[in-house]
């Protein structure tokens, strides 16, 4: 794109958003509250980089947390002339990379990735000769998630659970 077209991408941005969009070297952290235009600033940064030929679209990966947000990023980038940029969730991007690199690094097929913890927990319960209904399995999955985010090791969990009653 010509410079005038690249500059056009900046016309609708406020000063802070423009600073984000034109900072094309190195990483950049954008801290702002909800509804302040972070996504607009970030997509403008990517599109401006593409327009000024500072970045190549197929060498850029925009990541976000949700599938919906990734879709929104793709739409916005396409609307700004940067449709060749990939936008994915963190999980989707990681899985894509694992599928690509696994055979080269480890050989063979990528191991199956469980779609749900519930199936794994049900199988584990059966191996221990225990029956657990869906509600119990969901509760167990929630406890495991709590322990993970709380950084509680398995050995410590028993003590904490005993204290909690």
pLDDT at 126: 94
DSSP labels, 19-66: HHHH--SS-------TTSSHHHHHHHHHHHHHHTTSS-GGG-EEEESS
d(CA 32, CA 51): 25
pTM above 0.85, yes or no: no
pLDDT score, position 115: 83
Domain ranges of the chain: 3-94, 117-164
Find tokens 């696994």 and name the residue.
Answer: 102
pLDDT score of 3:
62
Q: Determine contact, residues 30/38, Cβ cutoff 8 Å.
A: yes
Surface-to-core class of residue 31, CB atoms within 10 Å of its CB (0-12 exposed, 13-18 middle, 19+ buried): exposed
Nearest to 80 by CA among 17, 16, 15: 17
User: Strands (DSSP E) along 65-134, which ranges?
Assistant: 86-89
Q: What confidence score (pLDDT) does residue 113 get?
A: 85
CATH superfamily of 3-94: P-loop containing nucleotide triphosphate hydrolases (3.40.50.300)
Asked if 29 and 78 count as a contact pair (C-beta separation under 8 A), the reply is: no
Per-10-residue mean pLDDT, the chain, length 165: 78 96 94 94 97 96 96 97 97 95 94 89 94 93 91 90 80
Cα–Cα distances in Å, from 79 out to 37, 73, 116, 148, 162? Answer: 16, 10, 35, 40, 56
Please give the Cα distance from 80 to 107 (Å, whole number).
40
φ/ψ of residue 84, rounded to 5: -80, -5
């Amino acid at each position: 794109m010509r410079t005038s077209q690249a500059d056009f991408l900046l016309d609708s941005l406020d000063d802070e958003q423009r600073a984000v969009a034109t900072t094309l070297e190195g990483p950049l952290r954008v801290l702002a509250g909800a509804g302040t235009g972070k996504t607009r600033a970030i997509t403008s940064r990517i599109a401006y980089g593409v327009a000024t030929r500072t970045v190549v679209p197929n060498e850029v990966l925009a990541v976000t947390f949700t599938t919906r947000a990734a879709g929104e990023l793709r739409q916005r980038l396409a609307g700004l002339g940067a449709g060749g940029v990939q936008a994915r969730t963190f999980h989707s991007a990681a899985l894509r990379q694992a599928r690509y690199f696994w055979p080269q690094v480890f050989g063979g097929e990528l191991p199956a990735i469980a779609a749900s913890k519930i199936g794994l927990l049900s199988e584990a319960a059966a191996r221990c000769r225990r029956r657990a209904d869906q509600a119990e399995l969901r509760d167990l999955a929630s406890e495991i998630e709590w322990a993970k985010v709380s950084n509680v090791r398995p050995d410590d969990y028993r003590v904490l659970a005993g204290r909690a009653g």
